[in-house]
Amino acid sequence: MPRPESLKPLIALSAVLCLVTLWYYLAIDSASTGNMGSLQQSKYTFEYLPGFFAQGEPESDGAVYEYMKHNLGLLDRDYETDKAGDEETKQWQRFEKYVTSLAEAGETGVKYKVLYVGRHGEGYHNVAETKYGTAKWDSYWSKLDGDGELYWSDAKLTDNGKQQALDNHAFLQRQFAEQKMPPPGRYYTSPLYRCLQTANMEFSDLDLPSDKQFKPLVKEMMREVMGQHTCDRRSSRTIIHGAFPDVDIEDGFSEEDELWQAAHRETHDEHDVRTRALLDDVFEHDEHAFLSFTSHSGSIASMLRVIGHCEFRLPTGGMMPLFVKATKSSS
C-alpha cells in the first residue's frame, strides 16, 4: 500500500534521527578519542565564556571583522594568573597560562577548551548559489550535481577558495611564531572534500613542535547540514582515503554516505543534536586544551547555538576562536 504523502517528511526525519543516534552510541573505539561507543557516554552542558574574544561581543559582525588584523580576535585584557613582569609577555601566552590554570584547578566534572574554528574556503557550490540566487539555489539547483559548467556534488574548492586557505596558512604561521598563539593539540575536520582541502592547505608544513604536527581526524558529525543539497553529500570512505591518504578517519565511518537523504533537509534542532554528540565526544576523550575544527557555515552556526554564543556569520575561509566550558551532567 503506498505511503500517504503527508507521512513522507516524518518518515525521513525519523530515519535521520535513528541513524544519528545509532552512530553516536555504536561508533567503535578510536585510537585518538577512546571509546566513543560506550553506552555510558558522558553528556555535558556547554557554555561559551565571553570577554576573551572580540567575535563574542554583541557588536561584532562576521561579514566585516578582520581577524588577521586583530590577533584572531583575542582581546587585550588582564587575567587572574598575571604576575609582575608579565606585561612583556605576549597576550596569547598569558591567555594560555590562564586556560592551563583552570584545567589544573581540577574542578569536578568541568573542562575548558579553546576551539580554533574555521570555515572551508570558497567552493563551487558557493559560486553557484551566487550565480543563481539563494531562492533558486535552494529550490532547484542545489538538488542537482551541477549545471554543465560548474560541478558541486561534494563541492571542491575554487581557485579563490584555495587562495583563502593559503592566506590563512601564512597568517597562522605568523600567529604561532610571532604572537605565540598555542598550536592545536589535535585537528578535526568534516569529511566533505572542501574541508579536507582547506585543512590541509592551512595547516600542512607549518613550523610546529613535533607533538603538534598536523594529523587531522575526520569526524562524520562535523559535516554540513545534511540532506537535499548534493554539495553536502559526502564521498565514499575509499575516495576520501585515496585523495587524502595522510588523514585519520574515525572508526565506525561507513563506506558510503548513510546520513544524507534527498527528501529531507536537516533542521536546526536535528543538527544541534549531532553537534552536542560531537562536543560530548571531543570533550570526553580529547585531553588537549587547544583544538582545531574545520567545518561549514551551518555546522559553525549550530555550534554557536549549542554553546550559547551570539550569532556570528563567518565568510568562506574565515576563522574564529571559541572559549568553551563543559560541565558534566549529573544524570
What is the per-residue pLDDT for 85? Answer: 81
- Torsion-angle region of 110 (φ positive above 0: left; ψ -120 to 50: alpha; else: beta): beta
Q: Which of 129, 224, 250, 266 is catalytic?
A: 224
The CA distance from 240 to 218, in Å, is: 10
Model confidence at 329: pLDDT above 70: yes
* Helices 268-285/297-307 angle, 10° precision: 70
Model confidence at 19: pLDDT above 90: no
Q: Which of 120, 125, 296, 309 is catalytic?
A: 120
User: Sheet containing 319-328: which strands, arranged edge to edge?
Assistant: 44-48, 319-328, 110-119, 290-295, 186-189, 217-218, 248-249
Give residue 26's identity as a one-letter amino acid code: L
The CA distance from 164 to 294, in Å, is: 13
Instruction: Please state which of the ranges 2-6, 226-230, 244-248 shows the lowest mean pLDDT.
Output: 2-6
Q: Express as a percent the part of the chain with pLDDT over 70.
A: 87
The CA distance from 68 to 171, in Å, is: 7
Tens digits of residue pLDDT in 38-88:
334 458 999 999 999 999 998 888 888 999 999 999 999 999 999 988 878
Establish whether 224 is a catalytic residue: yes
Instruction: Please state which of the ranges 76-85, 171-180, 254-263, 270-279 shows the lowest mean pLDDT.
Output: 76-85
Rg (CA), the chain: 20
The CA distance from 36 to 144, in Å, is: 35
Confidence bin at 4 (pLDDT 50/70/90): low
3-state secondary structure of 48: strand
C-alpha cell at 98: 590562564
C-alpha cell at 84: 609582575
What is the per-residue pLDDT for 189? Answer: 99
Tens digits of residue pLDDT in 290-318:
999 999 999 999 999 999 999 999 999 99
* Helices 193-203/159-178 angle, 10° precision: 40
- Average pLDDT (129-147) is 98
Q: Give the pairing of strands 319-328 and 110-119.
A: antiparallel
Establish whether 120 is a catalytic residue: yes
Average per-residue pLDDT in the chain? 90
Which has the higher per-residue pLDDT, 205 or 10?
Answer: 205
Q: Give the pairing of strands 290-295 and 110-119.
A: parallel
What is the per-residue pLDDT for 86? Answer: 80
What is the per-residue pLDDT for 47? Answer: 97
Domains and their CATH numbers in the chain: 32-328 (3.40.50.1240)
Say if residue 104 is exposed, middle or buried (CB neighbours under 10 Å; 0-12, 13-18, 19+).
exposed
- Average pLDDT (242-253) is 97
Confidence bin at 331 (pLDDT 50/70/90): low
pTM confidence score: 0.88
Dihedral (Cα; 78, 82, 85, 89), 10-degree rounding: -70
